[in-house]
């Protein structure tokens, strides 16, 4: 499997896991020089704050 596909699959997994926890289906993996620098997902904020 190409390296870029591996990182894309990681982002999809993050999005899927986040959606399963009540969040929105967003996930991201930031890659620099072939190394994973950062991964993130969007959490839903409930209430003030």
What whole-number percentage of the chain has pLDDT above 70?
86
- Specify the pLDDT at position 46: 62
The whole-angstrom separation of Cα 43 and Cα 31 is 21
pLDDT beyond 60 at 47: yes
Token duo for residue 10: 């990681």
- What is the pTM assigned to this prediction? 0.74
| Distance linking the first and last C-alpha atoms of the chain | 42
Confidence tier at 16 by pLDDT (50, 70, 90): very high
């Amino acid at each position: 499997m190409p390296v870029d596909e591996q990182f894309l699959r990681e982002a999809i997994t993050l999005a899927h896991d986040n959606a399963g926890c009540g969040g929105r289906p967003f996930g991201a993996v930031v890659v620099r020089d072939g190394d994973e620098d950062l991964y993130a997902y969007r959490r839903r904020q409930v209430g003030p704050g």
